[in-house]
């Protein structure tokens, strides 16, 4: 999950070994580029020596969330919850081919405006609205004919225009996200009280457990 655009990725794995994890990350990075920072939880497949060496060689710094506190990586946790719910419905109707539905689920997630950024992950990533199956169907029904691509326009002009669109969208998203995050913070802080702890104090640790399994 890209924290700026909210662009999600998902790869089905046969196991959670470090090798499988690194292979999946390579598959993603070859499409998106190698990130400067790669955030994850502290699963054994992420903290293994192989994965650490993998990040070191790619020049990507690993960043781990706090153990026992999923909210420290809340953006990914919320996405995982949504994807899990979507897969749950797919598995009920097509259990033997659920993995083949993942690209379609990802597209559906990417073209919906994010409540924090105000725009879709697709638009923030590519600088334009996604043209999905419904848009194609609408065009065929209405008889709309798209304008031909201006092939005389130079690549430099096209890239400059795309760059401006992305920068404008990014500026709007930054402002929208800051306002939304402040609203979340104000709402959360109204229900909290200041507490202090000293080393050696006994505390309760709540470890959330979901009963909403895929199977």
Q: In the block, which residue shows the tokens 């304008």? A: 147
User: Do the domain assignments include residue 24?
Assistant: no
User: Do the domain assignments include residue 166?
Assistant: yes
How many domains are contained in the chain?
Answer: 1
pLDDT digit string, tens, across residues 68-109: 777 788 889 889 988 898 888 888 888 898 898 898 889 888
> Can you name the residues that pair with 40 across neighbouring β-strands?
64
Whether 57 has a pLDDT exceeding 90, the answer reads: yes
Q: Which domain holds residue 143?
A: 137-189
User: Do the domain assignments include residue 170?
Assistant: yes
The predicted pLDDT at position 81 comes to: 87
User: Do the domain assignments include residue 172?
Assistant: yes
- Average pLDDT (139-153) is 55
- Average pLDDT (133-161) is 60
Backbone φ and ψ for 99, nearest 5 degrees, come out as -65, -25
Q: Which two tokens stand for residue 134?
A: 């419904």
Helix and strand numbers (H, E) in the chain are 8, 2
Q: Are 181 and 75 in contact (CB under 8 A)?
A: no
The predicted pLDDT at position 104 comes to: 86
- Average pLDDT (45-57) is 95
User: Do the domain assignments include residue 6?
Assistant: no
The predicted pLDDT at position 45 comes to: 95
Share of the chain above pLDDT 70, in %: 74
User: Do the domain assignments include residue 158?
Assistant: yes
* pTM above threshold 0.75: no
pLDDT digit string, tens, across residues 58-77: 999 999 998 877 778 888 98
User: Do the domain assignments include residue 120?
Assistant: no
Measured N-to-C along each axis, helices 74-93 and 102-110 cross at an angle, to the nearest 10 degrees, of 130
As a whole number of angstroms, the distance between CA 82 and CA 195 comes to 33
User: Do the domain assignments include residue 174?
Assistant: yes
More confident position, 171 or 147 = 171
């Amino acid at each position: 999950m890209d924290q700026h655009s909210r662009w999600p990725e998902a790869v089905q794995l046969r196991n959670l070994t470090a090798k499988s994890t690194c292979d999946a990350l390579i598959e993603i990075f070859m499409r998106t580029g190698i990130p400067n920072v790669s955030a994850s939880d502290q699963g054994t497949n992420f903290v293994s020596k192989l994965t650490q060496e993998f990040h070191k060689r790619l020049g990507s710094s690993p960043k781990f969330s706090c153990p026992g506190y999923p909210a420290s990586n809340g953006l990914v946790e919320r996405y995982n919850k949504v994807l899990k719910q979507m897969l749950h419905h797919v598995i009920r109707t097509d259990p033997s081919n659920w993995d083949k539905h993942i690209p379609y689920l990802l597209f559906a997630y990417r073209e919906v405006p994010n409540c924090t950024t105000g725009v879709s992950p697709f638009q923030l990533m590519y600088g334009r609205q996604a043209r999905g199956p419904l848009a194609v169907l609408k065009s065929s029904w209405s008889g709309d004919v798209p304008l031909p691509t201006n092939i005389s326009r130079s690549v430099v002009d096209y890239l400059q225009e795309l760059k401006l669109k992305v920068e404008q969208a990014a500026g709007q998203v930054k402002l929208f996200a800051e306002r939304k995050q402040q609203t979340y913070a104000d709402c959360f802080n109204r229900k909290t009280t200041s507490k202090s702890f000293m080393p050696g104090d006994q505390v309760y640790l709540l470890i959330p457990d979901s009963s909403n399994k895929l199977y």
